[in-house]
Amino acid sequence: MTTALIAEDETLLAEHLRAELTRLWPELRIAGIAPHGAAAVEMALAQRPDIAFLDIRMPGLSGLEAAQAIAEEWPQGGQPPLLVFVTAYDQYALQAFERAAVDYVLKPVQPERLAQTVARLREALRRRDSAGAGEAEATLARLRSLLGTPGLGAPAVAPARLAVIQAAGAGSTVHLVPVDEVIYFEAADKYVRVVTAEREHLIRTSLRELLPQLDPQRFWQVHRGTVVRCDAIASALRDDAGKLTLTLRGHPDRLGVSRLYAHRFKPM
């Protein structure tokens, strides 16, 4: 039986979507309704639905961030859910969804448009069953495309590149850390760890705010919570399950690579 998860913080909209899906696709089982992004991730990983309907704007994690977390935490070798975004975005954003070939429905959900989505999902499920891992990689590629779209996953105007990180020290001391010395950044609750060869610092910002200020040619995101300076990577080791781990030059730490970013490390 095909299963689906709905993530929507407005109860009436969630129930309306559930009712319309039940009418249009009686064989579809709704595995659950998540009221926010973090709950969507938890429920998706527990229920393993075939499809996830994700509201773009939710408390905490956005729909895109929830999709990213689901993709990263999904078991290696498994088929991540097909993604449908529920959005009230403008035409510019809708064009981005269309280019990325990820389906979407507008709020309030219209039965005629949802019927088209159901037909597309049925066809996508048939392709997935026959294509296997190839369709899973296509799903991840579409998500990468959306995460890099200005105004959705990326800022519309890129801020100036950072040259120096200002990190608080003991008392009133402020440490100036050249970005060139940073080996990797790691999200840590409301802070970001800034790790160099000699020591580490904490800065009070989010990785989401910091990432656009870094040169993407030099600093690679390898997990939703980790960004590494690419020339500090010594090797990428793949275990029997296909999971990638990075070793670093000048530092003993090892960094895990999520499947969403594993494409960076395919042999040339």
**Helix or strand or coil: residue 219?**
strand
- Helices 133-147 and 91-99 cross at an angle (nearest 10°) of 150
Share of the chain above pLDDT 90, in %: 55
Query: Residues 173-191: pLDDT tens digits?
Result: 888 999 999 999 999 888 9
Mean pLDDT of 63-77: 88
β-pairing, 251-257 vs 200-203, is unpaired
Task: For residues 115 and 24, give the distance between their C-alpha atoms in angstroms, rounded to a whole number.
Answer: 7
Query: Residues 86-108: pLDDT tens digits?
Result: 888 766 667 767 766 568 888 88
Q: Distances from the Cα of 139 to the Cαs of 43, 61, 108, 166, 263, in angstroms?
A: 19, 20, 25, 38, 13
Mean pLDDT of 9-35: 96
**Which domains are assigned to the chain?**
3-147 (3.40.50.2300), 164-265 (2.40.50.1020)
Task: For residues 97 and 225, give the distance between their C-alpha atoms in angstroms, rounded to a whole number.
Answer: 24
Predicted pLDDT at 170: 67
Query: Does 40 or 60 have the greater pLDDT score?
Result: 40
- Asked whether the beta carbons of 128 and 79 are under 8 A apart, the reply is yes
Mean pLDDT of 52-65: 89
| Tally of CA atoms within 13 A in the half-sphere of 139 that contains its CB | 28
User: The tokens of 223 are what?
Assistant: 């997990």
Query: Residues 119-153: pLDDT tens digits?
Result: 999 998 888 777 666 667 777 888 888 887 777 77
Instruction: Indicate whether 268 pLDDT > 90.
Output: no
Query: Residues 35-48: pLDDT tens digits?
Result: 999 999 999 999 99
